Chains A and B, each alone.
Chain A
Amino acid sequence: MEELILKLKEQIIEVLNLEGMTPEDIDENAPLFGEGLGLDSIDALELIVLMEKNYGIKLQDANQGREIFRSVSCMAEYISKNRKF
Protein backbone atom coordinates (compact mmCIF):
# COMPACT_ATOMS: atom_id res chain seq x y z
CA MET A 1 0.00 0.00 0.00
CA GLU A 2 2.85 2.37 0.82
CA GLU A 3 4.28 1.90 -2.62
CA LEU A 4 0.91 2.65 -4.18
CA ILE A 5 0.51 5.77 -2.03
CA LEU A 6 3.90 7.08 -3.12
CA LYS A 7 3.21 6.36 -6.78
CA LEU A 8 -0.21 7.98 -6.48
CA LYS A 9 1.28 11.13 -4.97
CA GLU A 10 3.75 11.38 -7.85
CA GLN A 11 0.95 10.91 -10.39
CA ILE A 12 -1.25 13.51 -8.68
CA ILE A 13 1.58 16.05 -8.66
CA GLU A 14 2.12 15.46 -12.34
CA VAL A 15 -1.44 15.49 -13.68
CA LEU A 16 -2.55 18.40 -11.52
CA ASN A 17 0.55 20.51 -12.26
CA LEU A 18 1.37 20.96 -8.57
CA GLU A 19 4.56 22.84 -9.31
CA GLY A 20 7.38 22.54 -6.87
CA MET A 21 5.68 19.87 -4.75
CA THR A 22 7.23 16.55 -3.83
CA PRO A 23 5.48 13.45 -2.45
CA GLU A 24 6.87 14.35 1.00
CA ASP A 25 4.85 17.57 0.89
CA ILE A 26 1.56 15.68 0.63
CA ASP A 27 0.01 14.23 3.79
CA GLU A 28 -1.85 11.13 2.59
CA ASN A 29 -4.51 11.58 5.25
CA ALA A 30 -5.12 15.28 4.70
CA PRO A 31 -8.18 16.39 2.67
CA LEU A 32 -7.47 16.85 -1.03
CA PHE A 33 -10.32 19.31 -1.53
CA GLY A 34 -11.38 22.26 0.59
CA GLU A 35 -8.34 22.70 2.81
CA GLY A 36 -5.31 20.50 2.30
CA LEU A 37 -4.24 20.82 -1.33
CA GLY A 38 -7.27 23.02 -2.14
CA LEU A 39 -8.08 21.25 -5.39
CA ASP A 40 -11.03 22.37 -7.49
CA SER A 41 -13.67 20.86 -9.76
CA ILE A 42 -11.38 20.53 -12.79
CA ASP A 43 -8.80 18.75 -10.62
CA ALA A 44 -11.50 16.30 -9.52
CA LEU A 45 -12.27 15.55 -13.17
CA GLU A 46 -8.57 15.01 -13.91
CA LEU A 47 -8.37 12.57 -11.01
CA ILE A 48 -11.23 10.66 -12.63
CA VAL A 49 -9.12 10.46 -15.82
CA LEU A 50 -6.13 9.35 -13.76
CA MET A 51 -8.14 6.50 -12.21
CA GLU A 52 -9.17 5.21 -15.61
CA LYS A 53 -5.89 5.75 -17.44
CA ASN A 54 -3.56 4.34 -14.78
CA TYR A 55 -5.76 1.80 -13.02
CA GLY A 56 -8.63 0.98 -15.38
CA ILE A 57 -11.26 2.21 -12.91
CA LYS A 58 -14.14 4.04 -14.58
CA LEU A 59 -16.07 6.50 -12.41
CA GLN A 60 -19.33 7.94 -13.68
CA ASP A 61 -19.23 11.44 -12.28
CA ALA A 62 -17.62 13.79 -9.80
CA ASN A 63 -20.19 12.85 -7.12
CA GLN A 64 -18.95 9.29 -7.09
CA GLY A 65 -15.48 10.73 -6.72
CA ARG A 66 -16.34 12.73 -3.62
CA GLU A 67 -15.89 9.83 -1.17
CA ILE A 68 -13.00 8.26 -3.03
CA PHE A 69 -11.02 11.51 -3.38
CA ARG A 70 -11.30 12.50 0.28
CA SER A 71 -7.59 11.88 0.73
CA VAL A 72 -4.70 10.10 -0.95
CA SER A 73 -5.17 7.18 1.48
CA CYS A 74 -8.83 6.87 0.52
CA MET A 75 -7.88 6.88 -3.14
CA ALA A 76 -5.18 4.25 -2.62
CA GLU A 77 -7.56 2.00 -0.72
CA TYR A 78 -10.23 2.25 -3.41
CA ILE A 79 -7.66 1.61 -6.15
CA SER A 80 -6.19 -1.45 -4.47
CA LYS A 81 -9.69 -2.97 -4.23
CA ASN A 82 -10.91 -2.06 -7.71
CA ARG A 83 -7.97 -1.78 -10.02
CA LYS A 84 -8.10 -3.59 -13.35
CA PHE A 85 -4.33 -3.44 -13.88
Chain B
Amino acid sequence: MSLVYQISDNLISPLGFTTLSNFDAVVSGSTGLKYYAEGSLGVPEAFCAALIERLLLHEQCHAAGIPQDYTDFDKLIILSATLALRNTGIDSSSDRTVFILSTTKGNISLLAEGFTKGSPDKRLFLWHSAGLLSDFFNNPNKPMVVSNACISGVSAQLVARQLLLSGRFDYAVVVGADLVSKFVVSGFQSFKSLSQQVCRPFDAAREGLNIGEAAGTIVLGRASGVDELPANNLYIAGGSITNDANHISGPSRTAEGLYRAIASAVKTNNHEEPGFICAHGTATPYNDEMEAIALNRVHMQHIPVFSLKAYFGHTLGAAGLIETIIASQALRQSVIPANAGYNECGVTQPVAVNTETKAYACSSFLKTVSGFGGCNAAMLVKKKEVN
Protein backbone atom coordinates (compact mmCIF):
# COMPACT_ATOMS: atom_id res chain seq x y z
CA MET B 1 0.00 0.00 0.00
CA SER B 2 1.31 3.45 -0.98
CA LEU B 3 2.62 5.67 1.71
CA VAL B 4 4.08 9.15 2.08
CA TYR B 5 7.49 9.50 3.69
CA GLN B 6 9.91 12.21 4.76
CA ILE B 7 12.78 12.80 2.35
CA SER B 8 14.45 15.74 4.05
CA ASP B 9 13.75 18.74 6.23
CA ASN B 10 15.01 22.07 7.50
CA LEU B 11 14.37 24.10 10.62
CA ILE B 12 15.29 27.75 11.14
CA SER B 13 14.82 29.29 14.57
CA PRO B 14 16.87 31.34 17.03
CA LEU B 15 18.53 28.02 17.91
CA GLY B 16 20.01 27.52 14.46
CA PHE B 17 19.58 27.30 10.72
CA THR B 18 19.51 23.52 10.35
CA THR B 19 17.46 20.69 11.80
CA LEU B 20 20.49 19.17 13.49
CA SER B 21 21.64 22.42 15.14
CA ASN B 22 18.12 22.92 16.48
CA PHE B 23 17.86 19.32 17.65
CA ASP B 24 21.23 19.50 19.40
CA ALA B 25 20.13 22.69 21.13
CA VAL B 26 16.94 21.03 22.37
CA VAL B 27 18.86 18.00 23.63
CA SER B 28 21.29 20.26 25.49
CA GLY B 29 18.38 22.13 27.07
CA SER B 30 18.90 25.50 25.37
CA THR B 31 16.03 27.86 24.71
CA GLY B 32 15.58 30.45 22.01
CA LEU B 33 13.26 32.44 24.29
CA LYS B 34 14.34 35.77 25.78
CA TYR B 35 12.75 38.46 27.87
CA TYR B 36 11.86 41.67 26.03
CA ALA B 37 11.27 44.78 28.14
CA GLU B 38 8.37 47.25 27.78
CA GLY B 39 8.54 49.06 24.48
CA SER B 40 10.15 46.22 22.53
CA LEU B 41 8.63 45.91 19.04
CA GLY B 42 6.39 48.84 19.99
CA VAL B 43 4.54 46.76 22.59
CA PRO B 44 3.98 48.66 25.89
CA GLU B 45 4.05 45.54 28.09
CA ALA B 46 7.09 43.28 28.50
CA PHE B 47 6.97 39.83 26.92
CA CYS B 48 9.03 36.69 26.41
CA ALA B 49 9.63 35.60 22.81
CA ALA B 50 12.03 33.81 20.48
CA LEU B 51 13.35 35.98 17.67
CA ILE B 52 15.68 34.99 14.84
CA GLU B 53 18.81 37.10 14.56
CA ARG B 54 18.14 39.24 11.48
CA LEU B 55 21.76 39.77 10.51
CA LEU B 56 22.35 36.03 10.33
CA LEU B 57 19.14 35.56 8.38
CA HIS B 58 20.07 38.21 5.83
CA GLU B 59 23.58 36.78 5.44
CA GLN B 60 22.26 33.30 4.75
CA CYS B 61 19.62 34.61 2.36
CA HIS B 62 22.19 36.63 0.46
CA ALA B 63 24.38 33.55 0.14
CA ALA B 64 21.41 31.59 -1.19
CA GLY B 65 20.71 34.20 -3.85
CA ILE B 66 17.41 35.35 -2.41
CA PRO B 67 16.50 38.91 -3.52
CA GLN B 68 17.49 41.41 -0.86
CA ASP B 69 14.35 43.48 -1.26
CA TYR B 70 12.09 40.60 -0.22
CA THR B 71 10.54 40.88 3.23
CA ASP B 72 12.01 38.89 6.11
CA PHE B 73 9.07 36.50 6.01
CA ASP B 74 9.41 35.85 2.27
CA LYS B 75 13.18 35.42 2.63
CA LEU B 76 12.74 32.99 5.52
CA ILE B 77 10.40 30.61 3.72
CA ILE B 78 12.54 30.55 0.58
CA LEU B 79 15.71 29.97 2.61
CA SER B 80 14.17 27.10 4.55
CA ALA B 81 12.90 25.43 1.38
CA THR B 82 16.30 25.94 -0.29
CA LEU B 83 18.16 24.30 2.57
CA ALA B 84 15.69 21.41 2.75
CA LEU B 85 15.86 20.70 -0.99
CA ARG B 86 19.67 20.83 -1.13
CA ASN B 87 21.18 17.48 -2.05
CA THR B 88 17.82 15.76 -2.48
CA GLY B 89 18.14 15.61 -6.23
CA ILE B 90 14.49 16.63 -6.56
CA ASP B 91 13.55 18.73 -9.55
CA SER B 92 11.75 21.59 -7.84
CA SER B 93 10.80 23.08 -11.22
CA SER B 94 8.83 20.02 -12.24
CA ASP B 95 5.05 20.09 -12.32
CA ARG B 96 5.21 16.82 -10.38
CA THR B 97 6.50 18.78 -7.39
CA VAL B 98 4.12 20.97 -5.41
CA PHE B 99 4.91 23.68 -2.87
CA ILE B 100 2.50 24.19 0.02
CA LEU B 101 2.83 27.14 2.39
CA SER B 102 1.55 27.03 5.96
CA THR B 103 1.23 30.36 7.75
CA THR B 104 -1.23 32.32 9.85
CA LYS B 105 -0.11 35.92 9.35
CA GLY B 106 2.62 36.06 6.69
CA ASN B 107 3.79 39.65 6.20
CA ILE B 108 1.34 41.15 8.70
CA SER B 109 4.03 43.39 10.20
CA LEU B 110 3.75 45.52 7.03
CA LEU B 111 0.52 46.97 8.46
CA ALA B 112 2.50 48.67 11.22
CA GLU B 113 4.37 50.67 8.58
CA GLY B 114 1.09 52.30 7.61
CA PHE B 115 -1.70 51.32 5.27
CA THR B 116 -4.55 52.74 3.24
CA LYS B 117 -7.87 51.04 3.79
CA GLY B 118 -8.97 49.39 0.59
CA SER B 119 -5.53 49.56 -1.06
CA PRO B 120 -3.60 46.70 0.40
CA ASP B 121 0.10 46.08 -0.15
CA LYS B 122 0.05 42.92 -2.26
CA ARG B 123 2.69 41.37 -0.01
CA LEU B 124 -0.01 41.09 2.65
CA PHE B 125 -1.74 38.41 0.61
CA LEU B 126 -0.56 35.00 1.75
CA TRP B 127 -0.75 33.60 -1.79
CA HIS B 128 1.70 36.29 -2.88
CA SER B 129 4.31 34.85 -0.52
CA ALA B 130 3.52 31.35 -1.76
CA GLY B 131 3.99 32.66 -5.29
CA LEU B 132 7.43 34.10 -4.51
CA LEU B 133 8.33 30.74 -2.99
CA SER B 134 7.32 28.63 -5.97
CA ASP B 135 8.69 31.20 -8.47
CA PHE B 136 12.11 31.06 -6.81
CA PHE B 137 12.23 27.40 -7.75
CA ASN B 138 10.61 27.96 -11.18
CA ASN B 139 7.78 25.71 -10.14
CA PRO B 140 4.81 25.92 -12.56
CA ASN B 141 2.06 24.86 -10.13
CA LYS B 142 -0.28 27.45 -8.69
CA PRO B 143 0.84 28.34 -5.19
CA MET B 144 -1.21 26.89 -2.37
CA VAL B 145 -1.60 28.22 1.16
CA VAL B 146 -3.10 26.38 4.08
CA SER B 147 -4.11 28.85 6.78
CA ASN B 148 -5.74 26.97 9.61
CA ALA B 149 -4.57 28.90 12.66
CA CYS B 150 -2.09 27.01 14.84
CA ILE B 151 -2.81 23.63 13.26
CA SER B 152 -1.67 24.84 9.83
CA GLY B 153 1.66 23.02 9.96
CA VAL B 154 0.05 19.62 10.47
CA SER B 155 -2.87 20.43 8.18
CA ALA B 156 -0.45 21.26 5.39
CA GLN B 157 1.38 17.93 5.82
CA LEU B 158 -1.91 16.03 5.71
CA VAL B 159 -3.02 17.96 2.62
CA ALA B 160 0.34 17.14 1.00
CA ARG B 161 -0.03 13.51 1.97
CA GLN B 162 -3.41 13.24 0.30
CA LEU B 163 -2.16 14.91 -2.89
CA LEU B 164 0.80 12.53 -3.07
CA LEU B 165 -1.22 9.40 -2.34
CA SER B 166 -3.60 10.30 -5.16
CA GLY B 167 -0.68 10.27 -7.55
CA ARG B 168 -1.20 13.87 -8.62
CA PHE B 169 2.30 14.80 -7.50
CA ASP B 170 5.49 12.91 -6.72
CA TYR B 171 6.97 15.37 -4.23
CA ALA B 172 5.57 17.97 -1.87
CA VAL B 173 7.65 20.72 -0.31
CA VAL B 174 5.71 21.81 2.76
CA VAL B 175 6.99 25.08 4.19
CA GLY B 176 5.65 26.77 7.30
CA ALA B 177 6.60 30.01 8.98
CA ASP B 178 5.39 32.88 11.11
CA LEU B 179 7.24 35.86 12.58
CA VAL B 180 6.93 37.61 15.92
CA SER B 181 5.34 41.02 15.44
CA LYS B 182 3.66 43.74 17.44
CA PHE B 183 0.42 42.57 15.84
CA VAL B 184 0.66 39.03 17.14
CA VAL B 185 2.12 39.87 20.56
CA SER B 186 -0.56 42.53 21.13
CA GLY B 187 -3.26 40.11 20.11
CA PHE B 188 -2.21 37.41 22.52
CA GLN B 189 -1.67 40.00 25.24
CA SER B 190 -5.27 41.13 24.76
CA PHE B 191 -6.20 37.52 25.47
CA LYS B 192 -4.10 37.65 28.64
CA SER B 193 -2.60 34.39 27.46
CA LEU B 194 1.10 35.28 27.45
CA SER B 195 3.66 34.56 30.13
CA GLN B 196 6.55 36.91 30.73
CA GLN B 197 8.71 33.96 31.79
CA VAL B 198 9.70 30.95 29.71
CA CYS B 199 6.52 28.90 29.44
CA ARG B 200 5.88 25.78 31.50
CA PRO B 201 3.77 23.25 29.59
CA PHE B 202 1.57 21.03 31.78
CA ASP B 203 3.08 22.51 34.93
CA ALA B 204 1.03 23.64 37.94
CA ALA B 205 2.65 27.08 37.82
CA ARG B 206 2.06 27.63 34.10
CA GLU B 207 0.63 31.01 33.28
CA GLY B 208 0.62 31.26 29.52
CA LEU B 209 2.45 30.94 26.25
CA ASN B 210 5.38 32.66 24.56
CA ILE B 211 5.43 33.64 20.88
CA GLY B 212 8.32 32.42 18.75
CA GLU B 213 9.32 32.76 15.14
CA ALA B 214 10.57 29.93 13.00
CA ALA B 215 10.41 28.30 9.61
CA GLY B 216 10.20 24.60 8.95
CA THR B 217 10.24 22.64 5.70
CA ILE B 218 9.52 18.97 5.22
CA VAL B 219 9.98 17.43 1.78
CA LEU B 220 7.63 14.50 1.30
CA GLY B 221 7.65 11.74 -1.31
CA ARG B 222 5.62 8.66 -2.10
CA ALA B 223 6.64 5.01 -1.94
CA SER B 224 4.65 2.00 -3.02
CA GLY B 225 5.13 0.30 0.34
CA VAL B 226 7.14 0.13 3.54
CA ASP B 227 9.54 -2.34 1.90
CA GLU B 228 10.62 0.31 -0.58
CA LEU B 229 11.83 2.60 2.19
CA PRO B 230 15.37 2.61 3.51
CA ALA B 231 15.69 1.70 7.20
CA ASN B 232 15.14 4.46 9.72
CA ASN B 233 12.97 6.31 7.22
CA LEU B 234 9.86 7.95 8.59
CA TYR B 235 6.41 7.97 7.03
CA ILE B 236 3.00 9.41 7.84
CA ALA B 237 0.91 6.47 9.02
CA GLY B 238 -2.28 8.36 9.75
CA GLY B 239 -3.76 11.77 10.41
CA SER B 240 -6.98 13.61 11.03
CA ILE B 241 -8.27 17.18 11.25
CA THR B 242 -11.36 17.90 13.34
CA ASN B 243 -13.30 20.65 15.06
CA ASP B 244 -14.53 21.00 18.66
CA ALA B 245 -17.77 22.62 17.46
CA ASN B 246 -17.73 24.47 20.77
CA HIS B 247 -16.07 27.92 20.89
CA ILE B 248 -13.93 30.01 18.56
CA SER B 249 -11.08 30.59 20.98
CA GLY B 250 -11.47 28.41 24.07
CA PRO B 251 -10.80 24.69 23.66
CA SER B 252 -13.58 22.20 24.36
CA ARG B 253 -13.77 21.26 28.06
CA THR B 254 -14.28 17.66 27.01
CA ALA B 255 -11.53 17.81 24.37
CA GLU B 256 -14.05 16.56 21.84
CA GLY B 257 -12.18 17.66 18.72
CA LEU B 258 -8.71 16.49 19.76
CA TYR B 259 -10.07 13.21 21.09
CA ARG B 260 -11.71 12.49 17.73
CA ALA B 261 -8.58 13.51 15.83
CA ILE B 262 -6.31 11.21 17.83
CA ALA B 263 -8.75 8.30 17.69
CA SER B 264 -9.01 8.68 13.94
CA ALA B 265 -5.26 9.10 13.40
CA VAL B 266 -4.41 5.84 15.14
CA LYS B 267 -7.34 3.90 13.72
CA THR B 268 -5.53 3.30 10.44
CA ASN B 269 -2.59 1.91 12.36
CA ASN B 270 -4.65 -0.86 13.97
CA HIS B 271 -5.00 1.32 17.06
CA GLU B 272 -1.34 0.64 17.87
CA GLU B 273 -0.09 3.03 20.54
CA PRO B 274 2.54 5.59 19.57
CA GLY B 275 5.91 5.43 21.34
CA PHE B 276 5.70 9.04 22.45
CA ILE B 277 3.51 12.09 21.99
CA CYS B 278 4.73 15.48 20.85
CA ALA B 279 1.93 17.59 22.25
CA HIS B 280 0.78 21.09 21.40
CA GLY B 281 1.39 22.05 25.03
CA THR B 282 1.20 25.83 24.75
CA ALA B 283 1.25 26.22 28.55
CA THR B 284 -2.02 28.11 28.74
CA PRO B 285 -4.25 26.88 31.58
CA TYR B 286 -6.93 25.72 29.17
CA ASN B 287 -4.95 24.14 26.34
CA ASP B 288 -2.83 21.81 28.45
CA GLU B 289 -5.83 20.77 30.52
CA MET B 290 -7.73 19.98 27.32
CA GLU B 291 -4.87 17.89 25.96
CA ALA B 292 -4.64 15.91 29.19
CA ILE B 293 -8.34 15.18 28.94
CA ALA B 294 -7.98 14.09 25.30
CA LEU B 295 -5.08 11.77 26.08
CA ASN B 296 -7.02 10.16 28.90
CA ARG B 297 -10.07 9.71 26.71
CA VAL B 298 -7.98 7.71 24.24
CA HIS B 299 -6.25 5.85 27.09
CA MET B 300 -2.81 7.26 26.26
CA GLN B 301 -2.14 8.85 29.64
CA HIS B 302 0.76 6.48 30.24
CA ILE B 303 2.60 7.28 27.00
CA PRO B 304 5.56 9.67 27.45
CA VAL B 305 4.51 13.15 26.31
CA PHE B 306 6.39 16.40 25.88
CA SER B 307 5.84 19.88 24.50
CA LEU B 308 8.59 21.81 22.69
CA LYS B 309 7.14 25.24 23.38
CA ALA B 310 9.70 26.12 26.06
CA TYR B 311 12.51 25.80 23.48
CA PHE B 312 10.92 27.59 20.52
CA GLY B 313 7.89 29.40 21.86
CA HIS B 314 4.61 29.01 20.01
CA THR B 315 5.52 29.46 16.36
CA LEU B 316 1.92 29.48 15.04
CA GLY B 317 1.95 28.50 11.35
CA ALA B 318 5.39 26.91 11.73
CA ALA B 319 4.62 24.99 14.93
CA GLY B 320 3.11 21.88 13.37
CA LEU B 321 6.09 21.57 11.05
CA ILE B 322 9.05 22.40 13.29
CA GLU B 323 7.75 20.26 16.12
CA THR B 324 7.20 17.34 13.74
CA ILE B 325 10.78 17.86 12.55
CA ILE B 326 12.24 17.72 16.08
CA ALA B 327 10.05 14.76 17.05
CA SER B 328 11.11 12.99 13.85
CA GLN B 329 14.77 13.55 14.63
CA ALA B 330 14.17 12.19 18.13
CA LEU B 331 12.51 9.11 16.66
CA ARG B 332 15.42 8.55 14.28
CA GLN B 333 18.02 8.96 17.00
CA SER B 334 16.08 6.95 19.61
CA VAL B 335 15.95 9.86 22.02
CA ILE B 336 13.07 11.55 23.79
CA PRO B 337 13.39 15.28 24.57
CA ALA B 338 12.42 16.72 27.92
CA ASN B 339 9.30 18.80 28.37
CA ALA B 340 11.29 21.80 29.59
CA GLY B 341 9.72 23.90 32.36
CA TYR B 342 7.88 21.07 34.08
CA ASN B 343 8.08 20.47 37.86
CA GLU B 344 4.68 19.52 39.14
CA CYS B 345 1.58 18.21 37.40
CA GLY B 346 -0.79 21.07 36.69
CA VAL B 347 -3.59 19.25 34.91
CA THR B 348 -6.51 17.44 36.49
CA GLN B 349 -5.98 14.18 34.63
CA PRO B 350 -2.72 12.24 34.70
CA VAL B 351 -0.30 12.45 31.79
CA ALA B 352 3.21 11.00 31.56
CA VAL B 353 5.22 14.19 31.04
CA ASN B 354 8.79 13.32 30.10
CA THR B 355 11.04 15.40 32.32
CA GLU B 356 14.51 14.59 31.07
CA THR B 357 16.09 14.10 27.67
CA LYS B 358 17.20 10.50 27.46
CA ALA B 359 17.65 7.47 25.24
CA TYR B 360 14.30 6.06 24.22
CA ALA B 361 13.70 3.65 21.38
CA CYS B 362 10.31 3.29 19.78
CA SER B 363 8.83 3.08 16.35
CA SER B 364 6.28 5.89 16.14
CA PHE B 365 5.09 9.17 17.58
CA LEU B 366 1.86 11.12 17.62
CA LYS B 367 1.89 14.86 16.93
CA THR B 368 -1.08 16.87 18.22
CA VAL B 369 -2.01 20.50 17.53
CA SER B 370 -4.99 22.71 18.36
CA GLY B 371 -5.95 26.20 17.30
CA PHE B 372 -8.31 29.15 17.26
CA GLY B 373 -11.53 28.31 15.49
CA GLY B 374 -11.80 25.10 17.49
CA CYS B 375 -9.64 23.18 15.04
CA ASN B 376 -7.51 20.20 16.06
CA ALA B 377 -5.24 17.79 14.26
CA ALA B 378 -3.35 14.62 15.09
CA MET B 379 -0.76 12.86 12.94
CA LEU B 380 0.98 9.52 13.43
CA VAL B 381 4.55 9.20 12.15
CA LYS B 382 6.17 5.77 11.99
CA LYS B 383 9.72 4.59 11.51
CA LYS B 384 10.64 1.81 9.12
CA GLU B 385 12.23 -0.68 11.43
CA VAL B 386 15.43 -2.51 10.71
CA ASN B 387 14.59 -6.21 10.52
Contact = CB atoms under 8 A, between A and B. Distances in A.
A/B contact in complex, CB under 8 angstroms: yes
Interface residues of B, number: 7
Interface in A35-51: 40-42, 45, 48-49
A64 to B, nearest CB: 10
Contacts of A49: 190
A61 interface: yes
Contacts of B191: 45
Q: Is the interface of B mostly helix, strand, loop or mixed?
A: loop
B192 interface: yes
A62 B193 CA distance: 10
On chain A, which size bracket covers the interface?
A: under 10
B120 interface: no
Nearest to B249: A42
Contacts of B62: none
A41 B250 contact: yes
Contacts of B250: 40-41
A41 B249 CA distance: 9
Contacts of B249: 41-42
A16 to B, nearest CB: 15
B247 A48 contact: no
15 contacts: A40-B247, A40-B250, A41-B247, A41-B249, A41-B250, A42-B248, A42-B249, A45-B190, A45-B191, A45-B192, A48-B192, A49-B190, A60-B192, A61-B192, A62-B192
Interface of A: 40-42, 45, 48-49, 60-62
Given A41-B249, A42-B249, A45-B191, 7 more contacts: A40-B247, A40-B250, A41-B247, A42-B248, A45-B190, A60-B192, A62-B192
Closest 9 CB pairs of A and B: A61-B192, A41-B250, A42-B249, A62-B192, A45-B191, A45-B190, A45-B192, A49-B190, A41-B249
